[in-house]
Amino acid sequence: IAEKVTSLGKDWHRPCLRCEKCNKTLTSGGHAEHDGKPYCNHPCYAALFGPKGFGRGGAESHTFK
């Protein structure tokens, strides 16, 4: 019970609450959600579901077509 965290409407073991993309361990309330799955806020959620092109920052901030 000491390792129980609640997030996305479910109870998780603390080590099981992980980012779907990079597998980083997340904290309850310290992450983003998409289609009921947890993602770390940066870089995974921002890269997958954030705005594309200029303004996001980083080496991949410009999208070439």
Kindly report the CATH number assigned to the domain that includes residue 17. Answer: 2.10.110.10
Q: Domain tally for the chain?
A: 1
Is residue 39 in a domain? yes
**How high is the pLDDT of residue 42?**
84
Is residue 55 in a domain? no
Query: Is residue 26 exposed (0-12), middle (13-18) or buried (19+ Cβ within 10 Å)?
Result: buried
Stretch (H or E) spanning 48: helix 46-49
Is residue 37 in a domain? yes
pTM of the model: 0.69
Place of tokens 């019970």: 1
Is residue 41 in a domain? yes
Range of the domain at 13: 4-49
Strand partners for 38: 33
E strand intervals along the chain: 4-7, 10-13, 32-34, 37-39
Is residue 58 in a domain? no
pLDDT in tens, the chain (65 residues): 677 888 888 888 888 889 999 999 998 778 899 998 999 988 899 889 887 765 555 555 545 44
